[in-house]
Amino acid sequence: MSLEARQRVLAVLPRQGDDTEFEPRRARKVRTVTDLLSASSGQEPHAVNIVDAPQAGVALHERSVVLITVPALDLLSKEELTALVAHQLGDESTSRDRVDSRVRGDRPGLRDRAHL
C-alpha cells in the first residue's frame, strides 16, 4: 500500500481512544510488534494504533493499520501479542494470494490454497 493510501486510511480512524502514551511494559510490547512489522514487510511497514476499547482485540484494518486494544496489550505477553499480529498478517497475505489467483484464473493456485 502506498504511503498516500495509508495516510488516507489513518485519517478516517477516530482519534478518540487512540492511545499514544505507554508505560514501559506496554511500550516494550508495542516495540516488539513494530520490530516484527518492519522485518516482515517488503514495503512500508504497517502502522500500529493502540485503541482504548473495552474488549481485548487485535485486528488488521484496511491492510495497513494494526489495531491493538489496551486490554489485549495488558493481557497478552509479548510473544502472544506478536503471534496474534503475525496471524493477522498471514490471514491478509493468504487472502491477497487467493484474490490474485482468482484474478489470474489460476485454478491450481486456488486448489493449493484451499486448505489454508
Domains in the chain, CATH or no CATH each: 3-113 (3.30.2010)
Dist CA 4 CA 108 (whole Å)? 35
Confidence at residue 79, expressed as pLDDT on a 0 to 100 scale: 94
Say how many C-beta atoms besides its own lie within 10 A of residue 113's C-beta: 14
User: Three-state DSSP class for 112?
Assistant: helix
As separate numbers, helices (DSSP H) first and strands (DSSP E) second, the chain gives 5, 4
The chain-wide mean pLDDT, for the chain, equals: 74
pLDDT confidence of 74, banded at 50, 70, 90? very high
pLDDT confidence of 2, banded at 50, 70, 90? low
Contacts with 82 (C-beta within 8 Å, 6 or more apart), sequence order: 32, 33, 36
In DSSP notation, 44-72 reads: SPPEEEEE--SS--EEEETTTEEEEEHHH
Confidence at residue 112, expressed as pLDDT on a 0 to 100 scale: 56
Task: Find the distance separating the first CA and the last CA of the chain, reported in whole Å.
Answer: 24
pLDDT confidence of 64, banded at 50, 70, 90? confident
Which of 19-28, 73-82, 83-92 bottoms out in mean pLDDT, i.e. has the lowest? Answer: 19-28
In terms of Cβ atoms closer than 10 Å to its own Cβ (0-12, 13-18, 19+), residue 99 is: exposed
pLDDT tens digits, 9-59: 666 665 554 555 668 888 889 888 888 887 765 555 678 888 888 899 998
Confidence at residue 21, expressed as pLDDT on a 0 to 100 scale: 63
Cα–Cα distance list, 6 to 11, 28, 39, 55, 116 (Å): 9, 24, 18, 25, 27
Confidence at residue 42, expressed as pLDDT on a 0 to 100 scale: 58
Residue of higher predicted confidence among 62 and 18:
62
